[in-house]
Amino acid sequence: MNLEPPGSGASTDGSAPPAALDAAALARLRELDPDGRQGLLARVLAAYESSLRGMIDQLHAALDAGDAGAVAGLAHKLKSSSASVGALALAASCADVERRLRGGVPGDLAADVARLLADGEAALHAVGAMLRP
């Protein structure tokens, strides 16, 4: 399985990942399965993609319910998994939203969720491009 984005001209050695994914984070995952025989990177990305899709649905539901606590909890869950696969923009957004909501700082819940959704969709697109070139 080629884990590079379509049309990137990148080889399976990990050069030039999709823009929404950090090359260094992907390289760390590749180091755990250097010859790729175990399919670790593909399995991790597929699990992340599935989880992220579910959490995007949950973010929509939390916004509809006006549940800032649920949004903070989802941001917390997404933060580390996103960082581990190199979705650093999403991880940073999650950290910011979680910190603000847990700190009780007033803000716009709809704007917070929109930010998480936009970054989440970008991460989904990038992961999908790697899994299904």
Helix boundaries (H) for 2-133: 23-31, 40-65, 68-85, 88-102, 109-131
**What backbone phi and psi angles, to 5 degrees, belong to 21?**
-120, 135
- Decide if pLDDT at 42 tops 90: yes
pTM of the model: 0.84
pLDDT in tens, 60-83: 999 999 999 999 999 999 999 999
Residue 130's pLDDT is what?
93
Residue 125 has what pLDDT?
96
Return the amino acid letter for 90. L
Residue 8 has pLDDT above 90, yes or no: no
Q: What angle do CA 96, 28, 54 make, to 5 degrees?
A: 50
**What is the per-residue pLDDT for 81?**
95
